[in-house]
Amino acid sequence: MKLSTVTTGVIGLAGSVIAQTDSTPFVDADTGITFQSYTSTDGITYRLALPAEASGDAGYDVILQIVAPTELGWAGWAWGGAMTYNPLTVVWKDGDSVQFSSRQATGYYVPATYDDAKYTVLKGTGVNETHFKFTALCTGCASWTDFDGNPYILNGAGDTNFAYAFSNTPVEEPANPESGFSIHDNVGRWIHDLAGARSDQFEEWVTTNTPA
C-alpha cells in the first residue's frame, strides 16, 4: 500500500493522496453543461457529465466532450484506462466538421470499429480557428465486456483512471469514421472525479443540446 512508504508528514499527505483527482468542474458556455474536466499537458481536454443516479450497479449514459488543437491528427479517450478491451472514442477534424469513431483494440494495432458504444452528437461540436470540439451523448462508454468476458461498469460514485492517446499525423480518410490512422505520439493516464461529474440536470442537458 502506497502510504506505508511515507515516513514523514503522514497526516497531511494522507489527506491529499486520498482526495486527489486530476479533473475539476467546468461550465461549458456552448452547452450550459457542467463537466468534470481534465486537460493533459499536451493541451487536449477531456470532459464528462453523468446522470445523478450513475453507479457501479447498472449501465448509464454519459455526456463527453473533447477539445483539441486543430493541428492535431487524432485524439482518443480510453474508457478503461488502457488501450485494449475497453471502448475507445477517437475524434479528428474533417475540414470544418468533427468526425468521431467508436473503436476497440484487441491488441496493439489499429483498433477495430466498436458497435457496442452508440454516440449522439450534441451541440457544442464544431471547429474554430484554434480548436475542434466534440460533444456527444454516449450509450456504452461507461460499461463494456472485459478481457475475461465479464461485464464491467464504471463506478459513477467514485474516481476512475482514464487514458488518452493522440497523434499529430492526420488520419488516412478524414471523412470516413472507419479510417485507418497511425500510432500515437503520446499516451497518458489521469484520474477523473466521476462522483463530481453527476448531476440531476443530465436529462435536461441532453434535451436542450440535442440538435433539432
**Residues found near ligand HEM in the complex (CB under 6 A):** 76-78, 82-84, 88, 90, 103, 108-111, 163, 165, 181-184, 187
Q: What are phi and psi of 196, to 5 degrees?
A: -75, -15
Give the C-alpha distances (Å, rounded to integers) separating 112 from 21, 75, 171, 177.
31, 16, 14, 11
By beta-carbon proximity to ligand HEM, the closer residue of 59 and 81 is: 81
By beta-carbon proximity to ligand HEM, the closer residue of 8 and 109 is: 109
By beta-carbon proximity to ligand HEM, the closer residue of 83 and 154 is: 83
Angstrom distance (rounded) from CA 111 to CA 175: 17
By beta-carbon proximity to ligand HEM, the closer residue of 187 and 195 is: 187
Angstrom distance (rounded) from CA 26 to CA 4: 35
CB of 212 to ligand HEM, least distance (A): 31
Give the DSSP letter string of 82-100: SSBSS-EEEEEEETTEEEE
Angstrom distance (rounded) from CA 138 to CA 79: 12
CB of 101 to ligand HEM, least distance (A): 9
Sign (positive or negative) of CA dihedral 199, 188, 184, 105: negative
By beta-carbon proximity to ligand HEM, the closer residue of 77 and 119 is: 77
Q: Which three cell numbers stand for residue 44?
A: 487536449
CB of 141 to ligand HEM, least distance (A): 12
Using CB positions, name the residue nearest to ligand HEM.
76
CB of 90 to ligand HEM, least distance (A): 5
CB of 130 to ligand HEM, least distance (A): 22
